[in-house]
Every structure is written in structure tokens, then in C-alpha cells.
A and B are shown apart, each in its own frame.
Chain A
Amino acid sequence: MTSPSSLKSAGPAAAPAAAGPPDRRAPRPPGLRARRRRENLAGYLFMSPWLCGFLLLTAGPMAVSLYLAFTDFNLFDSPKWIGLDNFSEMFGDARWRKSVEVTLLYVVLGTPLKLAAALGVALLLAQKRRGQAFYRAAFYAPSLVGASVSVAIVWKAIFSDDGPVDRAQRGLFGVDVGGWIGDPDWVLYSLVVLTVWQFGAPMVIFLAGLKQVPQELYEAAEVDGAGPWRRFWNITLPILSPVMFFNVLLETIHSFQIFASAYIVGGGAGGNACGPADGSLVYTCYLYVQGFENSRMGLASAMAWMLLLAVGLVTAVLFWSQRRWVHYEGGVGSR
């Protein structure tokens, strides 16, 4: 990036040259109102791609989706208003409740484990040692490919009957429970491992946050006799809390939306997209099945709005709770 000093020198040097044609600057500067109008016009013009996208692809569809949630709609016949029937059907549906259960378990297990791994490894990598940059890059790589079909296929193989994980658990612990993929009670845990494996993205964010912790604080605390645990608890964590908040928020919201890996990992032969006995029937998978395989678009819209409500609720609780545990005084991560 250009340094500020060179910018300052560029300013006056360029000014006389542009002042050459007098007609450009000679007319009285336009009035305040005209200038404001010009700024408004420029703003809306520059913003127009996003504004069109927001109205046509986000806000409009959201309104339509809300309407469809109260209708019976199969894409070809026009939607029929049925009031709250979709919602009562949904709540009465054992498979829907199963999908909620599966998704909540996935979120509640996967997100904290992933963030704990991210923080732990970030603390390790925060020490300046040889190879630090290499490790950082290598640990980050899974985050880029984790959601791909390829990795889902690899996961399915590694956790299948007689696969490496099955052999390891037999060899090391003597437990013979078979592959996780074929077991309704275990298939979800293979997805949890898959999300924890992608700890690199939050780790990189933690690392950037750790760089901002002033070293003097640690030195002062050490002089005062604070041990490493005390220093971590009373210095590192509070200063890291805004970054932690950001990671918790984004990772939780992402977890709710897991689709491709569950669809592939759980997908057996015969179009069963949801794992053995619905063991990996995550919410979005069931939404896809209802909306696009069963053509129940009204019902699927109702399901989508329940997802939105759940995510909104979690977001609200997190924002409300941040007063208690997020410290912005340090100036790190403040808005």
C-alpha cells in the first residue's frame, strides 16, 4: 500500500496540472443541495447491483416464502391457502422432529469442539517457532475443501465398515461396533468429526486476535506472580472475547445449514439421502427432500421459516449475552 507521506506529496503536485483548463473549476461551486443530490444519485448508482439483488433475490423471495409457508404448493398448480396446516403437520411429523434432534446435536457438539480445537491450536501456533507459517497454512487447508463432495466421499470411506477408523477402534480399544457410516447412532458423529477437522478457519481468526494481545500485560502479570493458567483466563480470554463472539456466531449459524456433506455421507444406495434410519437426517436435507423430492414446496417453506426463527433466536441470544462476556474496552475487534 502507498504510504501516507507519498500521498501528501502527490496531492499538491497534481493540483496545478488539473487546474489548467479553467472552465472546469471556474463556475461557482454547485449549491449544497445540488451537491447532496449528486452524492445521493452516485450512492444509489454504485449500490444498484446490491440493491437489485437485495430486492429481487433476498427481500422479495423472503416475502414470497413467508406466504408459501401458509399454502399447499407443488410448483405447478397455484398455491392454495391452508392457514397453519403446514406447521401442524410439521410438528406432528416424527421425521421432522428427528431432523431437529439430529441438527441440534450436530450444532451443540460440533461447534464447541471445533472452536475448542481452533483456540487450542491457535494458542500453540501463537508461539513464534520455526515452521509456524507452514503449520498455519496446512491446518487451514481443510476449511477450503471440507464442504466438497470429494471430502464427503473420503469421509464415507474412512468411516465405513473395515475402513481405517473401524480397524483402529478394533485394534486399539477392542470395540467392534462396525463402521460409523452404517450405524444410525454413529453416522452423525462422523459428520461432527468432519466439522471439527475444519477448525482452520476459526483458528486463523483466533491467531489474528492473539497477535493483538499486548505483551506488556503478560509481563506485568508474570511480575505479579500470575501463572500461565491465570494469565490465560484473565488476560488472553477477555481480550480474545470479541473474536470468540464472532467465531461462535458464524460457526453456529453455519452449522445449522450443513447440507452437502450430510447428503453425500449419509446417502446410501436407493436414493436414501439421510443416512441409515435417518441417523444423519439434518434439517436442510429433510427440507430438500420435502421441497424438491416430494414437491411439497409450501411445507418446505414453512420448514425454512422455522430454521430462520431458530437461527434468529440463537443470534439474538448471542448478541444479548455478549454484554456479559464480551469485552470491547481493549479496542480489539471493536466496531
Chain B
Amino acid sequence: MSALAAAVRRRKTGGSLVWHFAALAVLAVVLYPAVWLIGGSFKPSDDVIGSLDLFPGDPITDNYTGLKEGIADVSIATFFGNSLYLAIGSVIGVLISSSLTAYAFARVRFAGRNIFFTLMIGTLLLPYHVLLIPQYVLFQKLGWINTYTPLLIGKYLAIDAFFVFLMVQFIRALPKELDEAARIDGCGHARIYLSIVLPLCRPALITSAIFTFINAWNDFLGPLLYLNEPQQYTVSLGLKMFVDQEGVANYGGMIAMSLVALLPVLAFFLIFQRFLIDGMATSGLKG
């Protein structure tokens, strides 16, 4: 009996060892680019590609101090300010418009609801590039090129169906008794939405907010199309301009700037990773 238990335990520790070995191997591959990026940002430009060491023997901070000069006479802080403005504006828009729309789909019984819901789900699968040209033509006619409006307006009109869908799923899972009780008390939809559904939706709202922030921060195509003045550039565009103007000559600076550009996303991830991963997981399961 004890021999059997010992064998089982031995088999378990053996399995555990293999498991940790495998997980660490995957981790090494996944983290390699990040470690390379961090190490490279402290190397002189010639060594970023040339040297094999992950971390330089004697690290320098010139790459970071050099960023103070900015890119093409625009300071890094300007790019960060622009990106922040866009990201926060996007978050506010998505939270308001998606939660209102989701409430309609999840809690109001109106004519045509199913048709509109199906259309909304359909836009989830629609390639954005079909809309690229006509939207550009529209915004150009409206005189919105070189403004942030084309990048923000869609967020205030619930164009990201993913977040509407996420919130619909979440609201549907809330107990109906709450609404019914509120209705008996004479509450209309506006009150139910504001004082019951919205507060209970907090997890879905947080997930949507973080994803929206990160997507807006990373967005490249939108700013590339609509922003032409370096003063208006987001961090992504500024980084691309850096590559085009200095390129290999200032490899160290480019690498340092790449890392700095990722910091807000990484910070969000470290703080909110549970919300992100859970939000991601539910989206797939209920699909």
C-alpha cells in the first residue's frame, strides 16, 4: 500500500518536473523578444544587432537621455499626450455608447431587436478595410483630415461590436428579478440602466475600457491615414517617423523608444491582467 503511494507520488513529481520544464521552455521563447528589447535599449547603437550578449557588459543610458531631444523637433511628451488624449477619448466613447446599446439588446423588448442584433454580430466579422476608402472620402469631405474626430467618432457610435457583444452577454447574465423589482417601484429604463445595470456591469466595463485603451494606443493604420502633422502624431506614428528618419544610425534610440512606447500597455496589463484574461475567456465561451 505504501509502496503504491510512493510510486504514485514519484510519478507525480516526475510529471511535475516535466511540466515545469515545458512551461519554462515556452516562457523562454515568449519572453525572449522582451528581454532582447530591454537589454538592447542599454547597448550602444553598434552593439544592438552586433553583440550577442542579451545584456551589455557595461550598460549605457544614452539611448534614453537622447530621447529628450524628441523626433523631428517634436518632443516625445507631445506624442504621449496625443496618444493619451485619443486613448482616453476612445475609452469614454466606448463605455457610454456600448453600454447603452447593450442595454437595449439585453433588456428592452422592441420591434426588430433580433434583426439588429444579428446585424451587429455580423459587423464583428466585417473586415475593416472595406470601410477604409469610403470612410476616408466621407471624413475628407467633412474637412476632418488632420483632426482626431475620424479616430474618435466611431467609438461614440458603438462601432466596436465586440464590446457591445461583451456587455450584452454580461447584462443577460444579471438576475432579471432586479429589473422587475425596480419596475414595480415605477422605475423606467433610464433609471434601471443608470442605477442598476451600469453599476453591476463594472467588470465588463473595466474589461472594455482596458481593451479599448490598449487598442487605441497600439492603433497604427487610423493615425497613419488621418494625421499628417507631426505635432498631432501618436506614439505609434512618432515611432515610425523615428525609424524612417534615423533608422540604423540611431538603433539604440529606436530600441529605447520602442520600449518606452510599450510601457503604458504593459502597466495596464500588469495591473488589470485578471480582467483582461477573464474578459477574453468569456468572449469565446459564450460565442
Contact = CB atoms under 8 A, between A and B. Distances in A.
A215 interface: no
Nearest to A129: B19
B52 A25 contact: no
A301 B259 contact: no
Interface stretch (A10-18, A86-94, A107-115): A10-18
B233 to A, nearest CB: 11
Contact of A14 (B40, B129, B181, B244): B181
Contacts of B185: 14-15, 17-18
B128 A257 contact: yes
B5 interface: no
B111 A40 contact: yes
Contact of A43 (B113, B153, B277): B113
A167 B127 CA distance: 38
A100 interface: no
A124 B19 contact: yes
Contact of B218 (A139, A141, A148, A287): A148
A257 B127 contact: yes
Interface in A56-90: 56-58, 60-62, 64-65, 68, 75
Interface in B91-148: 96-97, 100-101, 103-105, 108-111, 113, 116, 119-120, 123, 125-138, 140
Interface in A145-171: 145, 147-151, 153-155, 157-158, 160-164, 167
B215 to A, nearest CB: 9
Nearest to A160: B49
B48 interface: yes
Interface residues of B, number: 102
A10 B207 CA distance: 28
Interface in B237-281: 239-240, 243-244, 247, 251, 254-255, 258-259, 261-262, 265-266, 269, 273, 276-277, 280-281
Contacts of B255: 153-154, 157
Contacts of A4: 175, 177
A58 B131 contact: yes
A308 B133 contact: no
Contact of B247 (A257, A269, A297): A269
B129 A304 contact: yes
Contacts of B96: 49
Contact of A46 (B20, B157, B189): B189
A101 to B, nearest CB: 18
B210 to A, nearest CB: 9
Given A39-B110, A62-B130, A205-B284, A147 B33 contact: no
A140 to B, nearest CB: 6
Given A15-B181, A205-B283, A264-B243, A57 B125 contact: no
A48 B218 CA distance: 28
Nearest to A263: B220
Given A42-B108, A47-B104, A154-B37, A57 B287 contact: no
A57 B160 CA distance: 11
Contact of B131 (A8, A57, A202): A57
A243 B178 CA distance: 32
A154 B258 contact: yes
Nearest to B107: A46
B64 interface: no
A277 interface: no
A235 interface: no
Nearest to A25: B186
Contacts of A50: 97, 100-101, 116, 120, 157-158, 164
> What are the 9 A-B residue pairs with the smallest beta carbon separation, nearest first?
A43-B110, A53-B157, A205-B284, A61-B134, A46-B104, A208-B281, A18-B185, A11-B181, A150-B258
27 contacts: A8-B177, A42-B110, A42-B189, A46-B103, A46-B108, A49-B101, A50-B97, A50-B101, A54-B157, A57-B153, A61-B130, A62-B134, A75-B137, A147-B220, A149-B220, A149-B261, A153-B243, A153-B258, A154-B37, A154-B258, A155-B33, A164-B36, A204-B280, A246-B284, A264-B243, A307-B127, A315-B125
